Structure 1
Amino acid sequence: MLALHYQNDVLHADGRIRVGIDDDASRAALVDSAARLLAAARRSQWPIMHVRIAFRPDYGDLPRNIPIFRRTEAIGAVKDGEWGAEFYAPLSPLLPLDSPREFVLKHTSISAFRGTQLDQLLRQHGVGRVVVAGVATHSVVEGTVREAAELGYEVVVVADACAAAQRATHEASLASMALMAEVTTLAELAAANEKESS
């Protein structure tokens, strides 16, 4: 499982970004789905890759050619070492990291594969199929899904554990990803896994 950008600045009510979750009901629904997905992954003993985005406090490592990152700097979001860049508590990795199947990766790009050990870790664990969830659907999720598909992974996107700034953007991104990945819901994924294990 790839759990992408479940961080304070993205999910917490006091966060600086809050992509697609400006209201409490949307936030609660997303967090509930993501928490249930993480719990299912742990029960199934899947490797879980928790990926966070974080930049140096001076943003010296920020890719300035990408408008969304320039906006990140302008609002002072996801500075490494600060609260906003930390994982959102209800969706955080098991800490201390006492599970041999949970990993924390940091990146400074759109795709979770860029500048990280993600591909290496997945291959070390014999992973051929990745289940992807995170925020935002149209940026880190879609960027990671596209690269995963190009690298030869079978990809599943859990739609209700993802969110974007606007519902239409979220839906458009899911439709785009459906060309290279299976787009499903948490309930559908659970039913499929139950059928496979019976």
Structure 2
Amino acid sequence: MKRALIIIDFINDIVDPNGKIPSCAQQVTANSTIKHANRAISWARENDIPCIFVKVGFQSNYFDLPRHSPIFGKADTIGALNLNGWGTQFHQDIAIEENDLVICKPRVNPFHNTQLASVLSANNITDIYLCGVSTTWAIQSAVRDAHDRDYQVHIISDACAAATEEEHQDSLTMLSRLATLHKSDELNL
């Protein structure tokens, strides 16, 4: 078994109350989600498990923006998810380090048109651990795709958040058929 931790979308536009689309900010704060994610990151580093940070974003001219998308289509009109702006910087409290791998994704799914699959394959990863936002969108998409690529998938449930606690819990219930759920303080496996 070779593991990797994938940390998804802890960026200012989504998790900071001052972000352009702070859909998860309230739940991230209320549930100390970043604290739990940092516990998972510490666990990974202590066990020589690579940390892969993923963020959604678009070029400053938004040429790569899927304008037909209900979730992304108006990002340019509000200046959201600009890869050259504050909004796509990782939140100041997330424990990212200078040498961590950062993958930019142009859609919800972190495998879609990114180098994620190649990086996992090159490192013979068999088990992936996921945390991030939102449980409803990016985590669900990542779990489903990773499952179908034959990875053993693990979700660090308290290191994920959605727009509401109900959405988060409903997502975890669905995903428990495809992944093993863990709390961040249970990662000494």
Query: Given the two structures, how large is their TM-score scaled by the length of structure 2?
Result: 0.91
Aligned-residue CA RMSD (Å): 1.7
Task: Report the AA paired with residue 26 of structure 1.
Answer: A
8 Å Cα contact 2:28/2:34 also seen in 1: no
- CA separation of 1:181/1:123 partners in 2, compared to 1, >3 Å: closer, same or farther? same
Rounded to whole Å, the distance in 1 between the matches of 2:133 and 2:141 is: 11
Deviations, residues 133-166 of structure 1 (Å, cap 9, x unaligned): 0011111111011100111100000111011011
2:136 to 135, 138, 163: 138
% same residue: 28
Q: How does 1:28-107 map to 2 (within 5 A)?
A: 29-95=32-98, 97=99, 102-107=100-105
Higher helix share: 1
User: 3-state SS of the aligned residue for 2:178?
Assistant: coil
After TM superposition, give the deviation of residue 74 of structure 1 in Å: 4.3
Higher relative contact order (CA 8 A, sep 6+): 2
- CA separation of 1:72/1:169 partners in 2, compared to 1, >3 Å: closer, same or farther? farther
Rounded to whole Å, the distance in 1 between the matches of 2:108 and 2:149 is: 16
Which runs of 5 or more residues in structure 2 are unaligned?
none
The yes-or-no answer on 1:16 pairing with 2:20 is yes
- CA separation of 1:71/1:178 partners in 2, compared to 1, >3 Å: closer, same or farther? farther
User: 3-state SS of the aligned residue for 2:170?
Assistant: helix
1:155 to 147, 153, 156: 153
8 Å Cα contact 1:47/1:125 also seen in 2: no
Rounded to whole Å, the distance in 1 between the matches of 2:175 and 2:120 is: 21
Which runs of 5 or more residues in structure 1 are unaligned?
194-198
Rounded to whole Å, the distance in 1 between the matches of 2:43 and 2:171 is: 25
Rounded to whole Å, the distance in 2 between the matches of 1:21 and 1:40 is: 24
User: 3-state SS of the aligned residue for 2:67?
Assistant: coil
8 Å Cα contact 1:10/1:16 also seen in 2: yes
